[in-house]
Amino acid sequence: MSYTIQSSEKTKSIGSDFETKALLYLMNFRDDSHEIHYFVIDFFNDLTGLDRLSNKSWDLQSKAAKKNFQGDIGKELVTLYKNYSSSFSFDHYILFLGGIADSIRLDNSKNIFDICNIKSQSLTKIENSLLKECIKKTYITAEKASLTEIKKFLTRVIFVIDDKEKSEYIKSIIKVNPLIIPSDTVLEQIFNQIRDVQSSKKNNNMVEGIVLQTKDEFIFYNRHLTNQEIKMMVLNRIINNNILQRGVTPSFIPVFNRIPATEQKDMLEDCQHSIARTIFDKNNSENFWNLFNDIYEIITSNKTLSIDLAYRLVNRELLEKLPFLNMISVIYFMAVIKDGIYDN
């Protein structure tokens, strides 16, 4: 059965900021965040997360307003309901909000909740508002514009109230010693970089009206980011280097020159490949950041030490836990970090 792309949009700056918060919520603040590989932008909805094989999906609609009332919430739920009613199956439905009126929740301290935390009178107003919005939309059939179906749908929805600054969303990606984490100003700059890349995806092709046969066809329209791409943006910014494109950095030259000329190109590519595999190894994310932390401390505490001698100080127990790295790739990684730190 087919699915037609409808109601794609362009958002203003505040909306773009908020959609980036929504993306980083999916990426880092759910128990199942580690499963999400693709973040599909303004395609099925404001944002849709998909796992590596596009078997599992997280559908999300966002609303940046700081005080949404029952009618606003019902109205914003319509695109989630559209997907719930479609021929495609979505596993999770999430409404990501800037805030809601205090009169809606039973417990206002809960910022992630389902309809069990919504007062009965408020829930009725939300249901009626959503029904009214469904009747207006040409992409929802009269059969689907049903209060009975809406009640079933709402049992599947998770409501999330944004309660974090931009910098906090970026800190959630960087699992290192707090002394290494950049200032909030730099963290916000990283957030803005992710936001700008995310926003640019909306201009990558007109998708309104496109008919899909399967969910995984999103891949052909270049409206997505991957978990890996976002991590690389953050890591490259922290060390002021593009790890996978930098080539031979100054600190690595003495080691590089000792490699036979016929082996140098392959060796460099192998180093970059090994580092990439390690960064993107979800099962070893914590071990990678622990290694980064160890290397950073060694380099900043031993500024004059050559990179091959600095390598001898690296925690061997950490290296044993990272199967894609070998001696030369670790030395290269250390050189990239060192030259990123001291380049400026």
Same domain, 196 and 61: yes
Same domain, 34 and 168: yes
Domain final position from 221, 236, 259: 221
Same domain, 292 and 254: yes
Same domain, 251 and 117: no
Q: What pTM, to 2 d.p., does this model score? A: 0.82
Domains: count for the chain: 2
Any domain includes 232: no
Same domain, 199 and 303: no
Same domain, 164 and 298: no
Contact 313, 298 (CB under 8 A): yes
Same domain, 85 and 164: yes
CA 170 to CA 186: how far, in whole Å? 10
80: phi then psi, degrees, rounded to nearest 5: -65, -40
H helices of 77-181, in order, are 78-85, 120-136, 147-154, 166-171
Same domain, 178 and 316: no
Distant-in-sequence, close-in-space partners of 185: CB < 8 Å, separation ≥ 6:
none
pLDDT, tens digit only, all 344 positions of the chain: 799 998 665 544 456 899 999 999 999 999 999 999 999 999 999 999 999 999 999 999 999 999 999 999 999 999 999 999 999 999 999 999 999 999 999 999 999 999 999 999 999 999 999 999 999 998 899 899 999 999 999 999 999 999 999 999 999 887 766 666 778 998 999 999 999 999 999 877 788 899 999 999 999 999 999 998 998 888 878 776 666 677 899 999 999 999 999 999 999 999 999 998 998 888 888 899 889 989 988 998 998 999 999 999 999 999 999 999 999 999 999 999 898 877 64
Q: Which domain holds residue 211?
A: 3-221
Any domain includes 230: no
Q: What is the pLDDT of residues 175-203, one digit of tens each?
A: 766 666 778 998 999 999 999 999 999 87
Same domain, 128 and 8: yes
Same domain, 155 and 43: yes
